[in-house]
Structure 1
Amino acid sequence: MSGPDPAIQLIFGPPPAGIDLTDSLTVAYDVVSCVVLGIAAASVGLRFYVRTMRGTNNLAIDDYFVVLGLFCTGALVATTLIAGAFDAGKHVWSTTLPRLMTLLKVVFAEPWVYAASVTSTKISVLLLYRRLFYTGDGDMLVINRIFTMMYWGATFFTCVYPLIMWIVMAVACRPLNFFWTQYAGATEGKCINYLQFFLIFGIVNMVNDVIILLVPIPRILKLHMNKRKKVSVAGIMLLGSFVCVASIVRIYYLTKLTTAIDITYILGPAFGWSSLEPSVAIIGACLPTFAPLFRGIRNKGSNSSGKGSHLVNLSATPNFLKQQSHFRIEESDEVELTNKSYFQGESRDGEGSVGSEDVERDIRGITVTSQVQVVSDRR
């Protein structure tokens, strides 16, 4: 194109002096969005492998919600790629009016997909919290009032978030196509200040991200662990804090969008960070489920070296238990995110026994016991 589209100049004015119309952010955000989505997909695959390894099926509803979140996030990344194909991330004076019309249709569609993506992912995280911290003794949420308020507050807003978003988008403009035709010179229509809505709702969504991030901390602090373990487990949970960072950066670009003239250039990062946020959330939601895999790798390394580990698979060593009158496993220097518990029963001859139930419990939740003791008394 020899120069800016006259129709674009009529709407947005002439380009500022010295602006490089070949400058583009599109490729960078497209590549990063696809790479992080790939990591999220690999994390979900690894999560399902860990949850079903050893021939057991420990899949729960939070696992299925994270898959739903992955599919929705894939659709969200697709909107980012389509937007980039129609000049999101490029200066508005380097596009044409027909291409801008198509881009604005993608802008209209994106919040619908974004709401589905972040909601399904957050529900997966909240269900994971419930599974990990459920005590089996009544409602886990009665145990800690702060946990209760934060958990149900985050759950409520997470569930109503997409409903509010979809309702507002459905009435954003009248007629609906005025959302994009207003830039083509249409005058018969009216829109709410949807850019301001995106900004305010983005801030509320970020606050909800922070609440979800902090929800497990009160429960972790009450676990029967030493302080170092509590800090380590809380740190693993807080690895999802990058979701809040992505949310903040997204809000920054939404703020710029409310006053920007060069809207297509700002839309590139806005689309990019909107798709990065749920991808990172999926990765964070899968991290606590990986511990059995890493423990298995560690134990294999320890077994091959013949030293350096004091963890013993009790279910595989019944003869050893029979030969020992007192046997203790110290795990005070281990930080694990699986519910590795040993079931102690008593056989007819009075000897401690360990059943196959131990193997099944090996990949379910967070360890809250730092010491396990098995005592066998001969009669």
Structure 2
Amino acid sequence: MARRWKSNKTSSGDDWTILITLVFCWAHSINTLIAAGLGGINRITVTPLEHAQIALRTLWISNFLLITALYTVKISILLFYWHIFYINDRFRKACIGMIGLLSAWWMANIVCVFLIGDPIDSSWKNAARAKHRFDFNSWYLWYCGLSIFFDLAILCFPLPVIRTLKVNTRRKVSIIGIFWLGGFVCISAIVRFVLFYQSIHGLTDFGKNQYSSITNAFIWSEIEPNTSVIAACLPTYGPFFRENGIMPKFIHSMRSTFGMSSTSEHKTSISMQGKAYSVGYLELENATSSKKSTGDIVMERATTVSVAPNSNIK
């Protein structure tokens, strides 16, 4: 809706991939909630063996959903970069290369999850007693670590292009800040990694039910993909903060409700192709880009300033 509000554009690839990510996030959350209901909330209501079976089976299912969600959200961000920096051929080739690398990472992990049990159906039928074809814990830690590495790499991906923009340093920093709104995703991924690592090394006494120690890791495995969806969408929300957007209208409505009048409002807008856009997350897309012979991107911005009758800057 934000994209169409901005320029009446139809949905693109990054919109569809983020919707797919959202579906897998919901499926992952539902899987966790069902497991919580079966095993007990706040206190375990089944035997330790039954709880181990529920926890391991849920973890096995969640791997398919979580790996796919983290994969598709990364693809969505790369496709977003693709549209933003469309005139830089080398950057677009780099995006294609990263998409290929992520696809290989996703496929390899899905195959590992599918084949972890021996026989294959044991991961579903009897996960607590299933034989593993390889060290599941080591694989899981490597998978989480690579996901964090890819998140950091994708955050840094546009930096070389932004460095070549013909704008001042302050503007470059603000543009970098737009793309680094997803930094919390990396933090949540690191927290999940640490909690799962601690839960692995806490399973020393199998006479007690210590599978409950992975509860916090499960919670952060919910936080990570869902916040990644929010972070991936934030740069597109600029139109909601325009003069005729939802947020200014909501604020004006609240002012009117509580009898707060605004005699003068300072509004800065960007004149672009005959339209006025409020300064927001879309300032990079709203800038006019032209390609020089050196391949640099030139950002040309025009700011419209009008003087009100009372000589205040409007």
- Identify the TM-score tier after normalising by the shorter chain: 0.7 to 0.9
**How has the CA–CA distance of structure 1 residues 153 and 252 changed in structure 2, closer, same or farther, with 3 Å as cutoff?**
farther
Greater RCO, CA 8 A, separation 6+ = 1
CA RMSD of aligned residues (A): 3.6
Number of residues paired by the alignment?
A: 278
Distance in 1, Cα, partners of 2:40 & 2:97: 36
Q: Is the 8 A contact 1:88 1:264 kept in 2?
A: no
Measure how far apart 1:148 and its partner are. Answer: 5.7
Measure how far apart 1:232 and its partner are. Answer: 1.2
Measure how far apart 1:299 and its partner are. Answer: 8.0
Measure how far apart 1:191 and its partner are. Answer: 3.6
Measure how far apart 1:214 and its partner are. Answer: 0.8
**For residues 1-379 of structure 1, what are the structure 2 equivalents within 5 Å?**
49-53=1-5, 56-87=8-39, 95-135=47-87, 140-142=88-90, 149=94, 151-152=95-96, 154-179=98-123, 181=126, 183=128, 189-261=131-203, 262-296=209-243, 297=245, 308-309=266-267, 311=269, 334=279, 336-338=281-283, 339-340=285-286, 368-371=299-302
1:88-139 CA deviation, whole Å, 9 max, x = no partner?
886779744234323322121111111111111111111000101112xxxx
**How has the CA–CA distance of structure 1 residues 113 and 152 changed in structure 2, closer, same or farther, with 3 Å as cutoff?**
same
Q: Give, as a single letter, the amino acid of the residue that structure 2 aligns with 1:71.
A: V
Distance in 2, Cα, partners of 1:196 & 1:129: 33
Measure how far apart 1:235 and its partner are. Answer: 1.1
1:157-208 CA deviation, whole Å, 9 max, x = no partner?
3212221111111221211344473645x7xx45421111001111111101
Q: Percent of counterpart pairs with the same letter?
A: 23
1:340-362 CA deviation, whole Å, 9 max, x = no partner?
368xxxxxxxxxxxxxxxxxxxx
Distance in 2, Cα, partners of 1:227 & 1:54: 27
1:223-250 CA deviation, whole Å, 9 max, x = no partner?
2222111111211211101111011011
The DSSP-based 3-state class of the residue aligned with 2:165 is: coil
The DSSP-based 3-state class of the residue aligned with 1:368 is: strand
Q: Give, as a single letter, the amino acid of the residue that structure 2 aligns with 1:61.
A: G
Bigger radius of gyration, 1 or 2? 1
Distance in 1, Cα, partners of 2:266 & 2:234: 25
Measure how far apart 1:372 and its partner are. Answer: 5.8
**How has the CA–CA distance of structure 1 residues 263 and 200 changed in structure 2, closer, same or farther, with 3 Å as cutoff?**
farther
Q: Is the 8 A contact 1:88 1:265 kept in 2?
A: no
Measure how far apart 1:305 and its partner are. Answer: 5.4
Measure how far apart 1:282 and its partner are. Answer: 0.8
**How has the CA–CA distance of structure 1 residues 241 and 173 changed in structure 2, closer, same or farther, with 3 Å as cutoff?**
same
Taking structure 1 as the reference length, the TM-score comes to: 0.63
**How has the CA–CA distance of structure 1 residues 119 and 242 changed in structure 2, closer, same or farther, with 3 Å as cutoff?**
same
Measure how far apart 1:152 and its partner are. Answer: 4.7
Q: Where do 5+ consecutive residues of structure 1 fail to align? A: 1-48, 318-328, 343-366, 374-379
**How has the CA–CA distance of structure 1 residues 252 and 175 changed in structure 2, closer, same or farther, with 3 Å as cutoff?**
same
Taking structure 2 as the reference length, the TM-score comes to: 0.75
Distance in 1, Cα, partners of 2:146 & 2:188: 14
Aligned equivalent of 1:36: none
Distance in 1, Cα, partners of 2:109 & 2:122: 18
**How has the CA–CA distance of structure 1 residues 116 and 223 changed in structure 2, closer, same or farther, with 3 Å as cutoff?**
same
Q: Is the 8 A contact 1:92 1:263 kept in 2?
A: no
Q: Where do 5+ consecutive residues of structure 2 fail to align? A: 204-208, 253-261, 289-297, 305-314
**How has the CA–CA distance of structure 1 residues 305 and 58 changed in structure 2, closer, same or farther, with 3 Å as cutoff?**
farther
**How has the CA–CA distance of structure 1 residues 340 and 305 changed in structure 2, closer, same or farther, with 3 Å as cutoff?**
farther
Measure how far apart 1:267 and its partner are. Answer: 2.0
Q: Give, as a single letter, the amino acid of the residue that structure 1 aligns with 2:211.
A: T
